[in-house]
């Protein structure tokens, strides 16, 4: 038999017959895998039955004791612990220790709505003490936006200063306006 004729025969079959047989076997394997995967066998619990009926049972109805899972409640952002100062000088010292600029301290109480207040560097910063956090929030909210300064408050204090954003976290307060 010539070499070319031998090369076109595999397992004693002509090459074309071998390829068609291989494709057929692969196709049958694909159908078998799909049948197993989709549960096309009797008693497999799913998919169409060979007779055309389904073997899937209907979903059980919920019992009276079943209840839907509760919807998760969003966790609110933590409220920072607000600091409290006993005196205006304690507040000023904490402000400076936190990095605030306070040259030429003047505790002459220029803010009538505050229990005590003072200014640093001729109005560069205004430090104010109040009775409580509610008064501090109210006083902070009453400072006009047109000042251009940043305002923060704590448990009994309000700071109206350019450097308020840099010191408010160290002081233990809330930045109202940046």
Least trusted range by pLDDT, from 1-15, 19-33, 34-48, 135-149: 34-48
Whether residue 139 is predicted with pLDDT greater than 90 in this model: the reply is: yes
Give the pLDDT of residue 63: 57
Segment 87-115 mean pLDDT = 91
Segment 42-63 mean pLDDT = 52
Whether residue 172 is predicted with pLDDT greater than 50 in this model: the reply is: yes
Give the pLDDT of residue 105: 92
CA separation, residue 68 to residues 62, 63, 72, 107 (Å): 10, 11, 12, 62
Q: How far apart are CA 1 and CA 9, in angstroms?
A: 11
Segment 137-156 mean pLDDT = 86
Put simply, whether the predicted model's pTM sits higher than 0.85 gets the answer no
3-state secondary structure of 107: coil
Give the pLDDT of residue 44: 47
More confident residue, 27 or 156: 156
Segment 1-13 mean pLDDT = 56
User: Helix/strand/coil (H, E, C) string of 118-178?
Assistant: EEECCCCEEEEECCCHHHHHHHHHHCCHHHCCEEEECCCEEEEECCHHHHHHHHCCEEEEC
Nearest one of 71, 69, 67, 42 to 54, comparing CA atoms: 42
DSSP secondary-structure letter at 116? E
Q: How far apart are CA 152 and CA 167, in angstroms?
A: 9
Nearest one of 72, 95, 74 to 85, comparing CA atoms: 95
Segment 45-52 mean pLDDT = 49
Pairing state between β 125-129 and 157-161: antiparallel
């Amino acid at each position: 038999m010539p070499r070319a004729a031998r090369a076109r025969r595999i397992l004693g079959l002509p090459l074309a017959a071998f390829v068609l047989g291989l494709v057929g076997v692969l196709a049958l394997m694909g159908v078998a895998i799909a049948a197993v995967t989709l549960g096309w066998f009797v008693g497999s619990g799913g998919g169409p039955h060979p007779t055309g009926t389904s073997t899937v049972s209907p979903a059980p109805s919920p019992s009276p004791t079943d209840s839907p899972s509760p919807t998760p409640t969003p966790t609110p952002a933590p409220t920072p612990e607000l600091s409290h100062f006993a005196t205006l000088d304690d507040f000023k010292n904490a402000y400076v220790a936190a990095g605030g600029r306070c040259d030429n301290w003047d505790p002459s109480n220029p803010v009538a709505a505050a229990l005590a207040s003072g200014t640093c560097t001729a109005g560069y910063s205004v430090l104010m003490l109040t009775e409580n956090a509610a008064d501090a929030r109210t006083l902070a909210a009453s400072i006009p936006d047109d000042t251009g300064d940043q305002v923060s408050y704590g448990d009994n204090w309000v700071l109206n200063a350019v450097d308020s954003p840099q010191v408010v976290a160290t002081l233990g307060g809330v930045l109202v306006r940046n």
